[in-house]
Each structure stands twice: as structure tokens, then as C-alpha cells.
């Protein structure tokens, strides 16, 4: 089966191009589902979403129908109910929400309106990451067009972030939207009861909402037949790393990594060998090349000790030094830790420092053990998964590539010499260090 024969939902009708204008979107049946949903009534719409077993596409994979069922009904609620759209896509490896906004902004708007009507929302807020400037402009243009066509009955406010990975975490996002620093809230209470401005709030990812119009169109039962049992429907897989053709590919859940990497992506560039696969963005523990036939669905990956996350697949070829990769990934979590919980704030720094020592050949075996120990001490002790992500992925690099870590210690330096594909990289954390060294030298 070639890619074009596959059922397309999120990108349906794009045919390799863009469907930015209302006219183009209408031509492929756009906004018909919204009309249908309004006639069905809110409970029937929620029932279809439940039947579809639509799991959240942002990373956590929580069923949308179930999440929506935690909300009070508009009659029960004492104040307004809000819908918040998470468009703060910042997971390293993920670039799918951006593609949805650029190519089919109206499908997102339609999904938002269907969901907002179904939960009886008074207003919707789209939190889009600050760096997505062109995407913001495209979304605003589509919104203006939909608004003047009378398609936006629940008002939508588009709110731009200002550069903070943590704001993709739903409670940090709410804090940020309220004009505070993006620091996660303790749960419970969950946002469904105490969310934005302390009101009941449903938070969903862009791709999740952009899937809703097709579910209403074909029915939840029909949608649930696509994919595999625990992971229904299609997914926009973001493929990156050392492949010939990186990009987003909409495929049914249950497709193998091999198909994505070799058929869609054209295989590993320059005929090199695959070494490792990051299955769900940099926060997902790593897999090795021999796991390439694994099915890409929530349950299979969970059983393998990792997760599908945002379905961002990073293929890594044989030239990568796994200690360097761990260090770069670790620097990201250190840089992005909001600093609220001590195990994350301090632990991410310890991980970075120890990985740096190992990479530079200054570490002992005791420090490799300490690295694993620090990872264990972060796990499960924070309000959000940022620190856990750092701990789990670094521990997975050590587990799967221990001999490389040990070789750094034995040889007193990087066994790749200067030949690693990651050689010569610098990160914002390095810039901070360097800035500090300059300041100290100037004193």
C-alpha cells in the first residue's frame, strides 16, 4: 500500500499542497461536520468522540472523550467553561501541529468550534508558541475569514507564548495564559474542574482537535476501526534525523518504524546504518536499531519501556556518539526546567555535569553509577514530567549503549574522536557557561 492509498484525516484533501483559504477548505467538505455537530447536539457529539477512542495527540495520549466527561455540564457549572488549545509545540522532534496550522488551519478551527460547542464553552484560547510567527499569521487570517463567514460562534483568542518549553505542559500553559511564569500546578484539582481562571477547562492538542471534524463526518465507530485496538485512527508522524526525506507522514497507528523510516523517509541518508530510534520526541526513552519492526502505537511502545508521545520519530545513524547525544538532550531539559521542583532543577544540572565529565573523559565508573542514581532520584518526584523525561531518556541511553559510556571512561575521552555526527554543536546552556566565563575574566 502506498502512502497515497492510506486514509487521511488530519491532512485530508491537502493532496500535497495547502488548503488555507475558506473556499478551498469548503471544496473538500469543510465545515460540513460543524453544521452536523450542531444538529446532533452536544451529548451526541461527545458520544461519537468517545466511540472513536480518540487519544490525545500532544504526548500523554489521554482519551479526549474521557477528559471531556470530567467537565461539569454547562447547566451544572457555576461560571464559564473554557476550551484551551495547546499549540505550544516545542518537543524536540515534533513539527506536526505547525504543519496542520499552515496547511489546513480551517480544520483546526472547525475542530475547535465542534469541541467548544460540545462542552458548552464560553470562549476558546489557542496558546501558540511564540516562535511560530508565520503560523500565527496564517491562523489569524483563517480565523478572520471563518469569523466573517459566521462560522465562529464560540469566540477564539489566539495567545502567543514567548519561548518556554514547559508551557506545553497543560497546567504550566494555564499559568502562562494567566500572565504568570509557566510553572506547573499540583494536581488534583485537575483543569477539568479548576482550570483557566479557576474555571472548568478542557485542554486539547492541535492535532487532536483537527481530527474531530472527520470523526463527526464518518462516525466514531468507523474511525475506531482504523489503526489498532488501543490506538485508533491515524497519526501525523514527524520524521527527522538522519533520513533521506524528513517530514510529516499521516499513517494509521500500528505502522512499523521500518515503514516510516525506509518507505516514507527513503531510509538512512548516504546508505549509512541505523543505530537508534527516538520514538516520541526527545522525552521518550531510546530504542535500538533491532527494534525497527516494532508497531508504532501507544501500548506496544509502553510495553517496550518507552512511549509514542507526540509521535516524533528521530532516526539516528551510526556516526552519533550516544554520550554527546545524551549531553545535548540533557542540556535541553536543564535549560528548560522551570525551577519549581528541586529534584528537577538540581537533578537536570547534575545529569548535565556528569555527562559532560564522561564525554570529556574526566569521569570514573563511580560517576557513571552516580549518573544512573541521580536519574532514579528525580523520577516521580516532581509536579510535571520534565525532570522525569530527562531522567528516563538519559538512563535509557546508558542501558542500551553502556559500552559506549564505559569506553569514554576507559579511553579517557570520546572514542569517536572528532568523527561523531554531533561534534561541534553548541547549546544555549553552553552560551550561558561561556558568558559567565567571559564575565569572570573581565572582572
Partner 1 sequence: MAELYDEIRAVADRYPDRRSAVIPALRLAQEHYGYLPPEAIREVAAALDTTPAVCHQIATFYDMFHLKPTGRHTIDLCSNAPCALVGAGKVLEAFERELGIGAGETTPDGLITLRTVECLGGCGRGTVVAVDHRYREPVTPADVPGIVEELRREH
Residues binding partner 1 (CB under 8 A): 80, 89-95, 98, 123, 129-134, 157, 159-165, 176-182, 197, 238-242, 246-248, 278, 282, 312, 314, 316-317, 320, 325, 328-329, 332, 335-336, 338, 421-428, 430-431, 434-435
Distance from C-alpha of 281 to C-alpha of 301, rounded to nearest angstrom: 13
Q: How far is the CB of 401 from partner 1 (least distance, A)?
A: 15
Q: How far is the CB of 288 from partner 1 (least distance, A)?
A: 16
Q: How far is the CB of 199 from partner 1 (least distance, A)?
A: 9
Q: How far is the CB of 164 from partner 1 (least distance, A)?
A: 5
Q: Output 26 or 122, the one with its CB closest to partner 1.
A: 122
Q: How far is the CB of 319 from partner 1 (least distance, A)?
A: 9
Q: How far is the CB of 255 from partner 1 (least distance, A)?
A: 17
Q: Pick from 112, 32, 42: which is nearest to 75 by CA?
A: 42
Q: Output 182 or 252, the one with its CB closest to partner 1.
A: 182
Q: Output 54 or 429, the one with its CB closest to partner 1.
A: 429
Map grid coordinates 467548544 to a residue.
116
Omega before 189 cis (within 30°)?
yes
User: Contact, 242 vs 289, CB < 8 A?
Assistant: no
Q: Pick from 54, 113, 111, 78: which is nearest to 200 by CA?
A: 78
Strand 274-278 to 227-228 pairing: unpaired
Q: Pick from 268, 313, 312, 232: which is nearest to 55 by CA?
A: 232
Q: Output 246 or 252, the one with its CB closest to partner 1.
A: 246
Map grid coordinates 548535565 to a residue.
352
Distance from C-alpha of 157 to C-alpha of 84, rounded to nearest angstrom: 10
Q: Which three cell numbers stand for residue 429?
A: 546552556
Q: Rounded to 5 degrees, what angle do the CA atoms 419, 434, 393 make?
A: 55
* Sign of the dihedral through C-alpha 374, 175, 298, 93: negative
Q: How far is the CB of 179 from partner 1 (least distance, A)?
A: 4
Q: How far is the CB of 100 from partner 1 (least distance, A)?
A: 12
Q: How far is the CB of 214 from partner 1 (least distance, A)?
A: 23
Q: Output 68 or 84, the one with its CB closest to partner 1.
A: 84
Amino acid at each position: 500500500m502506498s502512502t497515497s492509498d492510506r486514509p487521511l484525516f488530519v491532512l485530508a484533501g491537502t493532496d500535497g499542497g495547502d488548503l488555507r483559504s475558506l473556499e478551498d477548505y469548503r471544496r473538500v467538505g469543510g465545515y460540513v461536520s460543524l453544521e452536523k455537530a450542531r444538529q446532533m447536539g452536544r451529548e451526541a457529539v461527545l458520544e461519537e468522540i468517545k466511540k472513536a477512542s480518540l487519544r490525545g495527540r500532544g504526548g500523554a495520549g489521554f482519551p479526549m472523550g474521557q477528559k471531556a466527561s470530567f467537565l461539569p455540564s454547562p447547566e451544572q457549572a457555576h461560571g464559564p467553561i473554557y476550551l484551551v488549545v495547546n499549540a505550544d509545540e516545542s518537543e524536540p522532534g515534533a513539527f506536526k501541529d505547525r504543519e496542520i496550522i499552515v496547511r489546513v488551519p480551517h480544520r483546526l478551527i472547525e475542530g475547535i468550534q465542534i469541541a467548544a460547542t460540545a462542552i458548552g464553552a464560553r470562549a476558546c484560547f489557542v496558546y501558540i508558541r511564540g516562535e511560530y510567527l508565520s503560523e500565527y499569521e496564517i491562523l489569524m487570517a483563517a480565523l478572520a475569514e471563518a469569523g466573517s463567514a459566521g462560522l465562529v460562534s464560540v469566540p477564539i483568542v489566539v495567545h502567543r507564548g514567548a519561548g518556554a518549553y514547559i508551557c506545553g505542559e497543560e497546567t504550566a500553559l494555564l499559568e502562562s495564559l494567566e500572565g504568570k511564569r509557566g510553572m506547573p500546578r499540583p494536581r488534583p484539582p485537575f483543569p477539568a474542574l479548576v482550570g483557566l481562571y479557576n474555571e472548568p477547562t478542557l485542554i486539547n492538542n492541535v492535532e487532536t482537535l483537527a481530527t474531530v471534524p472527520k470523526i463527526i463526518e464518518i462516525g466514531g465507530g468507523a474511525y475506531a476501526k482504523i489503526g489498532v485496538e488501543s490506538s485508533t485512527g491515524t497519526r501525523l508522524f514527524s520524521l527527522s534525523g538522519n533520513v533521506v526525506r524528513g517530514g510529516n507522514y499521516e499513517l494509521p497507528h500500528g505502522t512499523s518504524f521500518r515503514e516510516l523510516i525506509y518507505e516514507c523517509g527513503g531510509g538512512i541518508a548516504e546508505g549509512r546504518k541505523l543505530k537508534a530510534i527516538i520514538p516520541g520526541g526527545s522525552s521518550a526513552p531510546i530504542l535500538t536499531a533491532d527494534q525497527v519492526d516494532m508497531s508504532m502505537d501507544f501500548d506496544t511502545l509502553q510495553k517496550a519501556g518507552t512511549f509514542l508521545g507526540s509521535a516524533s520519530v528521530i532516526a539516528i545513524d551510526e556516526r552519533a556518539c550516544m554520550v554527546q547525544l545524551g549531553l545535548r538532550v540533557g542540556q535541553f531539559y536543564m535549560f528548560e526546567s522551570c525551577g519549581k521542583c528541586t529534584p528537577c532543577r538540581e537533578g537536570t544540572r547534575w545529569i548535565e555535569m556528569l555527562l559532560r565529565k564522561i564525554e570529556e573523559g574526566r569521569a570514573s565508573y563511580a560517576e557513571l553509577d552516580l549518573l544512573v542514581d541521580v536519574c532514579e532520584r528525580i523520577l516521580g518526584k516532581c509536579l510535571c514530567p520534565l525532570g522525569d523525561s530527562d531522567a528516563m531518556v538519559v538512563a535509557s541511553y546508558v542501558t542500551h549503549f553502556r559500552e559506549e559510556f564505559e569506553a569514554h571512561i576507559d579511553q579517557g575521552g570520546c572514542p569517536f574522536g572528532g568523527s561523531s555526527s554531533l561534534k561541534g554543536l553548541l547549546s544555549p546552556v553552553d552560551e550561558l557557561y561561556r558568558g559567565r566565563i567571559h564575565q569572570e575574566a573581565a572582572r
